[in-house]
Amino acid sequence: MRLSLTLGLIIATTAIHAADEPYQIARWGNALLVTAPGGPGMSPAIAAKLNQRVTLDFQDAALTDVVDFLRSVSHINIVVAPAVTLTSPTITLKAKDMSLGNTLHWLTKLSNTHMGFIHGALFISNEPVKEASVTRMYDISDMTMAIRDFPGPELALSSGGQNGGGGALFGPVDDSESSSPTTEEITDIIKKVVAPGKWSD
């Protein structure tokens, strides 16, 4: 996840993030702790292989047999969860010149399974696939610190009198401080801009 704000990264730790688990954000002083999916993504090479065209014709075939075929033609690591292997769902699917990605999509639909990319392999499971998440700490003290406004003095002109010419007088300087966003306001911005609707309250 990439934030639309310039924040200083301090620490990062990994965890397991369920596919339907809300993103987390917490405040710690002038820092934000953000937990969201951020593990290693699919490599460009594997993503390109998902565009590979395949032709297949299976009638009441075991899911594992179909996976073995797709694994052999694509040279992609595909792992099937033991629970799926035990249930041994059957697949009836006929396709010509279908992309591998769409083929895998139909495979999971027909077998009522879920698929995700974790630890360098496509993983087919009977439950939503959990993916790696990262917890990062962002120091936002420089964003919330109030900065005093030093405007230039206003030039006030007075009319000249008999005892002297017109003088240039400087008006009072406004030393009020400009407002800076609060931690709560920055948190709200992140929730609205980055993955809206996925953050926990």
**Along the chain (201 residues), what's the average pLDDT of each consecutive run of 10 residues?**
38 43 76 74 84 95 96 94 92 95 95 89 88 76 72 62 52 56 82 78 66
pLDDT reported for residue 35: 79
pLDDT reported for residue 62: 95
pLDDT reported for residue 163: 57
Residue 200 lies in a domain: no
Residue 88 lies in a domain: yes
Q: Domains in the chain: how many in total?
A: 1
pLDDT reported for residue 36: 74
Cα distance between residue 10 and residue 139, in whole Å: 7
Q: With H, G, I as helix, E, B as strand and everything else as coil, classify residue 140.
A: coil
Q: Which domain holds residue 49?
A: 44-129
Residue 31 lies in a domain: no
Q: Identify the CATH number of the domain in which residue 55 sits.
A: 3.55.50.30
